[in-house]
Structure 1
Amino acid sequence: MKQDLTIGLICPGGGIKNPEIEMAKYAPADIKLLTRQIPLAKIDPQVLSDFGDMADDAAKDLAAQGADLVVFNCTSGSFIRGLGYDLEIIRRLEKATGLPAITTTTAVVAALKSVGGTHLTMVTPYPDSVNEVEIRFLEESGFHLVSSKGLGIVQMNLVAKVPFDQLYALVRDTDRPQSNCIFISCAGLRVLDYIRGLESDFQKSVITSNQATLWMALRTLGRSDRLIPGSLFDH
């Protein structure tokens, strides 16, 4: 019987395997992470849409390397065609590999529901053209966006360079008392280390892309590990 489990991550390229780095820091010791990158130069609706179409070969490669689960680990890339697109990607990857699959957007929706997040503060690194699609996706998924703001970043390789101080200021300036959950969108942001502090400072649940992805990946594999990054792992 196989002891260790392997999660295969399909991520935007750019030389920085940020989702893998973030998740590996907190994942259980018997969980292995593999990453296959697909080039993604711009955070742009059409480029993101094309990105999703290139995931099948990466998924097959991860399956051949021994993955037990395939993850389309890009938030914007899995909501960019609107409601239901994340589920379409899952069906396609499962058909291509014969393995279970999830997307980051699917994980985020499940995580928000798990912590009771209904009225959201959302911050992102994205330009308005992508934020507008995400707002519509979340509202059609049953959430109310109380407030939202993006950093307007278009070049993908700049996302991982956003300092936490800038992200914290964005959350502080965007959050409103009417929201009961903060959602920090984008797997490229480095934020897992700070979730507990954010929850303490703002006194509400905080959901981030990589946090939700790791949580749902483990749950999909039948695991219920209670990990450090945020109250989500109490669910």
Structure 2
Amino acid sequence: MTALGLLCPGHSAEDDYPRIEQLLGSDIRVDLARTDAGEETRRTDALGRMGAPERLAAGVQELRHTGAEAVVWACADGSFAYGWEGAHEQVRSLARTAGMPASSTSFAFVHAIRELGVGRVAVGATYPEEVTALFADFLRADGIEVVGVHSAGGVPAAGGGARGEAEVLSLARRADRPDAEAVLLPDTALSTAAHVTTLEEELGKPVLTASQVTVWEALRLADRRVNAPELGSLFNREPVVQV
């Protein structure tokens, strides 16, 4: 059994993770610990407070009790808002506190893009324009070419998960560009696990979503590779033989 630990701000899109766990198979468990999400706003100062070390540390003990082998801060804007270096320090601090490998959704996107071998991406987010721009800058800091950015406006995090398949597909279509090799939907408050394959079929290219890459990152930290085509191109890989 591989146990994965996720620190999640609030209760948005919480149905995504049980769905992903079910698709991964019976020997993987995804455990969630809720952190204080603070203000329901996408201002950068509030995002900084949401990802503060003391807030993340509050959920770590709960994950230790589950036997988690790795922990991921399941929040994109609460990590990339710190900038490239600040986000690195955030996960280093989390790893020290947790005593296990740690990462965040922001770095999950970076690592997933590398896994797919793509260099040009388009971004579709439910953030305000200035916050979406911070995510694009975060990707560029790793040498990733962002060929298009679409912001759907400042939807509060708690409301993001209410969007259905048609709205998620519309967001992805608006974000897509002909020269983009993949489309990224970075909001962890957006329920996407049930729609990844539909998104990829409609766009004809890989689609990376926040909950999908977050769980994939936890598996990567735990040295597990799982073939689960229902979760899109990122999971359509031959699994590593466990010895």
Query: For residues 6-25 of structure 1, what are the structure 2 equivalents within 5 Å?
Result: 6-14=3-11, 17-25=14-22
**Which residue type is aligned with residue 202 of structure 2?**
D
* Corresponding residue number in structure 2 for 1:119: 120
The answer on whether the counterparts of 1:115 and 1:232 sit within 8 Å (CA) in structure 2 is yes
Q: TM-score, normalised by structure 2?
A: 0.88
The answer on whether the counterparts of 2:35 and 2:58 sit within 8 Å (CA) in structure 1 is no
Q: Give CA deviations for 1:2-52 in whole Å, capped at 9, x if unaligned.
A: xx2221111111465244334323232122222111232222211111111
Q: Distance in 2 between matches of 1:23 and 1:99?
A: 22
Say if 1:43 and 1:26 are closer, same or farther in 2 by CA, change over 3 A: farther
The answer on whether the counterparts of 1:153 and 1:159 sit within 8 Å (CA) in structure 2 is no
Q: Distance in 2 between matches of 1:213 and 1:15?
A: 14
> What is the aligned residue count?
232
TM-aligned CA deviation for residue 198 of structure 1: 1.8
3-state DSSP of counterpart to 2:110: helix
The answer on whether the counterparts of 1:121 and 1:176 sit within 8 Å (CA) in structure 2 is yes
In the alignment, structure 1 residue 189 sits paired with structure 2 residue 190: yes
Query: For residues 1-235 of structure 1, what are the structure 2 equivalents within 5 Å?
Result: 4-14=1-11, 17-40=14-37, 41-53=40-52, 54-227=55-228, 228-235=230-237
3-state DSSP of counterpart to 1:11: strand
Q: TM-score, normalised by structure 1?
A: 0.91
Q: Give CA deviations for 1:92-111 in whole Å, capped at 9, x if unaligned.
A: 11111211112111111010
Say if 1:15 and 1:207 are closer, same or farther in 2 by CA, change over 3 A: closer
Say if 1:190 and 1:221 are closer, same or farther in 2 by CA, change over 3 A: same
Identity %: 26
Q: Give CA deviations for 1:63-121 in whole Å, capped at 9, x if unaligned.
A: 13322211100011111111133321221111112111121111110101111221111
Unmatched runs of 5 consecutive residues or more in structure 2: 238-243
The answer on whether the counterparts of 1:74 and 1:103 sit within 8 Å (CA) in structure 2 is yes
Q: Distance in 1 between matches of 2:174 and 2:12?
A: 31
CA RMSD between the two structures: 1.7
Q: Distance in 1 between matches of 2:175 and 2:232?
A: 20
Unmatched runs of 5 consecutive residues or more in structure 1: none
